[in-house]
A and B are shown apart, each in its own frame.
Chain A
Amino acid sequence: MRPSRDDVLGLGMIAAAAAYWAAADRISVSLLADAVGADGVPKMLAVALAVLGALLIVATRIKAAPAEPRTPETDEQLRAHVRAAGLFGGLAAYALLLPVLGYPLALALLIGGSAVYGGAQVKPSLALIASLGGLGFWLFFAKGLGILMPLGAWVPGS
């Protein structure tokens, strides 16, 4: 029998619990530590997560599932995941480029890029809207609120 999504989730949670326990086990012990310790509650949570993950798998089996066969991902669903991954890639690129390009330019690129990715037509007005967006947000945060938004490595003295 092929595993269901709940099986995958249950196994994933057990794996996550193990990793979390291992990370908790590496927490240093302080002289100020109480009886529970800095790792006490995290380890309790790790156990709880593992138990719940196991229970989820068991519950899925008990529900027995000829009535609920695993439904394979349709092409449409897969396309949706790919498009979501693409948008995430754009956001990650923004985070990476922010210190290099600076806030106004990186934001203008994010606005323009994500609008095109979402289906907007590439035309001069798009570039104008994106540029005005980047500039407007920068004016609001940097000039209006006085927050230090990066101008980028290419701006002298920034």
Chain B
Amino acid sequence: MDTILSVVGALPGGWTLLAALAGVIWGILGGAMPGLSPSVAMALLLPLTYGMDPTAALTMLASVYVGAEYGGSIPAILIKTPGTNAAAATTIDGYELARQGRAGEALGISLMAGFVGGMFGLAMLVLATEPMAAVALAFTPPAYCALGILGLSVIASLSGRSLLKGLIAGILGLMIATVGTDPVSGVSRFTFGSPDLLSGIRPILVMVGLFAVTEMLSQISAPAWDKANRRDTRLKLPSLSMWRRLWKSQVIGCVIGTFEGLTPGGGGSIAAFISYNEARRWSSKPEEFGKGSVEGVAAPECANNVVTATALIPMLSLGIPGSNSAAVLLGGFLIHGLIPGPMLFQKAPEVVYGLYGGLFAANVLMVLVGLVILTPCIWLVNRPKPYLIAFILAIVVSGVYATDTSLTDLWVVLGMGVVGYGMRWVGMPVLPLVLGAVLGFMVESNYRRSLVLARGDHSIFLQDPVSLGLLVAAVALTAYSVWREYLKPRSKDA
């Protein structure tokens, strides 16, 4: 109760509110630009925070994170290009809805599901930061490895008609994740002498290539897009009956987003994919998933916005950033001489509670800004296709290059675009590859660290209770998915 009263007392005003507004606007724009991840959008603002009040500075950075997760869904829905890693799951049904002339509905659902997720995540952040510190402390390398395997187990459900092709794509993703410096010994692997590859291939490059470049390579010879109907694409907030339909998927998003956010290394991408999968599993209309399901938009968007708050729990309580964005925020703390961890609550409680208040404001502002900023986004859909393709390519190549001013990054993205085009040709799903690329480093590094700790004894993964629980969940999830996709008796009318 004291914590809640402190947060209420710390609700922002003046400069902090302005910082939240600026952060949300920049976050939405940055998230909407393929190639600029939330962490990059945050990092670009980091130098600007030097002279700011710490609470306003941290609020601005956290608001970018909130805005970017919603912003990432805008190109995911409108042009099948996730602006952020976490929006990849939204692409599946969001784009299908847009193709059906329901872009405004999808964007409205994304906005409000994100708001629900953001507020739920904030409540979890406020209530659970200190108690959850003990749980997060219990995470060992075997548990991290098992967590990654749980994330990979979703591949079975993302493989569509061919589990084998899905698995192959997953393996290819894991192979991409092995490029760079070996996490244990430090030797370089598959870098072919390029220093730019020593830090590995960032998943955002894989995704921009697979989604954006591949889509443009395909669209260049596809018939012109239908003009989006202005009436249909006007922002459409969910009606009461729609809320009733979406509640289950949002509960799923909230629960999974909380769990993944709390887990260092979990992140919005895993939360979004698992939520999507679970929403389909528990939906009364699972057949609509992949063809334009509103629940398929709500669940991942809710989950990745929950993560914007809950990912801060291990960072604030232990000083362990659970995601890239949390790491940038940690950098913001350090700039102001604040060291996240248990002592932060003793030394600078006003900053922590101010940040909570700032996040509250950011979520409210996200809805308000989102209502205004969507109209120009929807206007984009109706532009002549050749120009749209040209400017999408301009955004992609500019964003990718600007991230690290690296031509190698650009070539990686173009290469992944060709890979994605080839995968489409042979009917191989790309999402398992993305999952492999996202989770590969975490799985491998923690697998090997676990074996170092256990002197090569694999039973460590079964002796650690958290690891065991996660592995059992992964096996159960895979078995159920395989059974559901391949073995479950079909009804006659199915």
Q: Indicate which residue in A23, A48, A130, A147 contacts B171 across the interface (CB closer than 8 Å).
A: A48
Nearest-neighbour CB distance to chain B for A16, whole angstroms, equals 8
Q: Indicate which residue in A41, A94, A112, A145 contacts B444 across the interface (CB closer than 8 Å).
A: A41
Is A49 on the interface with B (CB-CB < 8 A)? yes
A107 pairs with B397, CB closer than 8 A: yes
A49 pairs with B164, CB closer than 8 A: no
Collect the chain A residues with CB atoms within 8 Å of residue B165's CB: 9, 56
A95 pairs with B390, CB closer than 8 A: no
Which residue of chain B is the closest to A76 with respect to CB atoms?
A: B221
Which residues 220-234 of B have a CB within 8 angstroms of A? 220-222
Q: Indicate which residue in B168, B175, B182, B418 contacts A56 across the interface (CB closer than 8 Å).
A: B168
Indicate with 1 or 0, residue by residue over B103-130, a CB within 8 angstroms of chain A CB atoms: 0000000000000000000000000000
Q: Indicate which residue in A9, A45, A103, A118 contacts B386 across the interface (CB closer than 8 Å).
A: A118
Residue among A34, A40, A41 with max Cβ neighbours from chain B (10 Å): A41
Collect the chain A residues with CB atoms within 8 Å of residue B221's CB: 79-80, 83-84
Which residue of chain B is the closest to A5 with respect to CB atoms?
A: B426
Q: A110-B394, A137-B398 are in contact. Are A45 and B185 (CB under 8 A)?
A: no
Which residues 391-437 of B have a CB within 8 angstroms of A? 391, 393-394, 397-398, 401-402, 405, 407, 410-411, 414, 417-418, 421, 425-428
Is B378 on the interface with A (CB-CB < 8 A)? no
Which residue of chain B is the closest to A111 with respect to CB atoms?
A: B390
A49 pairs with B171, CB closer than 8 A: yes
Q: Indicate which residue in B401, B402, B426 contacts A8 across the interface (CB closer than 8 Å).
A: B426
Collect the chain A residues with CB atoms within 8 Å of residue B428's CB: 9
CA distance A90 to B174 in the complex (A): 30
Stretch from B65-73, B300-308, B362-370, B446-454 at the A interface: B446-454
A147 pairs with B405, CB closer than 8 A: yes
Which residue of chain A is the closest to B387 with respect to CB atoms?
A: A115
Stretch from B94-102, B186-194, B346-354, B465-473 at the A interface: B186-194
Indicate with 1 or 0, residue by residue over B378-391, a CB within 8 angstroms of chain A CB atoms: 00000011110111
Which residues 2-45 of A have a CB within 8 angstroms of B? 5-6, 8-9, 13, 20, 23-24, 27-30, 32-42, 45
Stretch from B74-82, B211-219, B317-325 at the A interface: B211-219
A38 pairs with B182, CB closer than 8 A: yes
Collect the chain B residues with CB atoms within 8 Å of residue A149's CB: 401-402, 405
CA distance A149 to B403 in the complex (A): 11
Collect the chain B residues with CB atoms within 8 Å of residue A56's CB: 164-165, 168
Which residue of chain B is the closest to A140 with respect to CB atoms?
A: B398
A9 pairs with B426, CB closer than 8 A: yes
Which residue of chain A is the closest to B184 with respect to CB atoms?
A: A34
Which residue of chain A is the closest to B427 with respect to CB atoms?
A: A5
Nearest-neighbour CB distance to chain A for B409, whole angstroms, equals 10
Q: Indicate which residue in B220, B397, B418 contacts A94 across the interface (CB closer than 8 Å).
A: B397
Collect the chain A residues with CB atoms within 8 Å of residue B334's CB: none
Q: Indicate which residue in A5, A30, A42 contacts B425 across the interface (CB closer than 8 Å).
A: A5
Which residues 88-141 of A have a CB within 8 angstroms of B? 88, 91-92, 94-95, 98-99, 103, 107, 110-112, 114-120, 129-130, 133, 137, 141
Indicate with 1 or 0, residue by residue over A57-80, a CB within 8 angstroms of chain B CB atoms: 001000000000000000000011
Q: A34-B448, A35-B451, A118-B386 are in contact. Are A91 and B164 (CB under 8 A)?
A: no
CA distance A137 to B391 in the complex (A): 10
Q: A32-B184, A91-B393 are in contact. Are A141 and B398 (CB under 8 A)?
A: yes
B387 pairs with A145, CB closer than 8 A: no
CA distance A151 to B4 in the complex (A): 52
B402 pairs with A145, CB closer than 8 A: yes
CA distance A95 to B418 in the complex (A): 15
Which residue of chain A is the closest to B392 with respect to CB atoms?
A: A114
CA distance A49 to B428 in the complex (A): 14
B384 pairs with A120, CB closer than 8 A: yes
Q: Indicate which residue in A23, A88, A107, A117 contacts B414 across the interface (CB closer than 8 Å).
A: A88
Which residue of chain B is the closest to A144 with respect to CB atoms?
A: B44
Which residue of chain B is the closest to A133 with respect to CB atoms?
A: B394
A87 pairs with B394, CB closer than 8 A: no
B421 pairs with A116, CB closer than 8 A: no
B220 pairs with A83, CB closer than 8 A: yes
Collect the chain B residues with CB atoms within 8 Å of residue A53's CB: 168
B178 pairs with A41, CB closer than 8 A: yes
A to B CB contacts below 8 Å, 14 in the list? A9-B165, A32-B184, A34-B452, A38-B182, A42-B190, A45-B174, A91-B393, A91-B414, A94-B397, A95-B411, A110-B394, A111-B393, A117-B220, A118-B390
Sorted from nearest, which 10 A-B pairs have the closest CB atoms? A118-B386, A30-B185, A38-B182, A120-B386, A115-B390, A84-B217, A80-B221, A83-B221, A114-B390, A32-B185
